[in-house]
Amino acid sequence: MKTTPLTDLHQALGAKMAPFAGYLMPISYSGIQEEHKAVRERAGLFDVSHMGEFIVKGKQALDLIQYITSNDVSKLAIGQAQYSCMPNSHGGIIDDLLVYRLDEDQCSEGEQAFMLVVNASNIDKDWDNIQQYAVQFDTRIVNISDQSALLALQGPKAAEILQQLTDVDLSQLKYYHFAKGSVAGVGNVIVSATGYTGAGGYELYFNNHHAVQLWDAIMEAGKSAGVMPVGLGARDTLRLEMGYCLYGNDIDDTTSPLEAGLGWITKLKKGPFVGKEKIEFLKQQGISRKLVGFTVQDRRVPRHDYLLFSATGQEIGRVTSGTMSPTLGIPIGMGYVPADLAKPGTAIQVQAGSKFLAAEVTGLPFLTD
What pLDDT was estimated at residue 254?
98
Cα–Cα distance between 9 and 21 in angstroms, integer? Answer: 20
What SS3 state is found at 241?
helix
Determine the average pLDDT of the residues in 142-146.
98
Q: CB of 274 within 8 A of CB of 133?
A: yes
Calpha distance 113→136 (Å, rounded): 17
- Average pLDDT for the chain: 97
Closest CA to 87 of 234, 235, 275, 258: 275
Would you state the pLDDT for residue 368? 84
pLDDT, residue 162, reads 98
> Coil, helix or strand for 270?
coil
Collapsing DSSP to helix, strand or coil, 30 comes out as coil
Could you report the per-residue pLDDT of 310-356, keeping only the tens digit for each? 999 999 999 999 999 999 999 999 999 999 999 999 999 999 999 99
Whether residue 296 has pLDDT greater than 90: yes
List all residues 6 or more positions away from 193 whose beta carbon is below 8 Å from its beta carbon.
170, 173, 174, 175, 176, 177, 178, 201, 202
Give the pLDDT confidence of 82-95 residue by residue, as tens digits: 999 999 999 999 99
How confident is the model at residue 305, as a pLDDT? Answer: 97
Tell me what the mean pLDDT of segment 246-266 comes to.
Answer: 98
Structure confidence by residue, pLDDT tens digits, 196-213: 999 999 999 999 999 999
Which residue type sits at 70?
Answer: S
Residue-wise pLDDT tens digits, 155-201: 999 999 999 999 999 999 999 999 999 999 999 999 999 999 999 99
Looking at the chain, the whole-number percentage of residues with pLDDT higher than 90 is 98
**Confidence bin at 289 (pLDDT 50/70/90):** very high
Mean pLDDT of 52-66: 98
**pLDDT in the model for residue 104:** 86
Beta strands in the chain (DSSP E): 16-20, 23-28, 44-47, 52-58, 81-87, 93-101, 112-118, 140-143, 148-154, 178-183, 186-192, 201-207, 228-229, 289-296, 307-310, 315-324, 331-338, 347-352, 355-362
Model pLDDT, residue 170 = 98
Which of 155-159, 237-241, 287-291, 365-369 is least confident? 365-369
Domain annotation for the chain: domains and CATH numbers: 288-362 (2.40.30.110)
- The pLDDT of residue 258 is 98
What pLDDT shows up at residue 322? 98
Mean pLDDT computed over 53-75? 98
- How many CB atoms neighbour CB 287 within 10 A? 17
pLDDT over 70 for what percent of the chain?
100
The pTM of the full predicted model, rounded to 2 decimals, is: 0.97
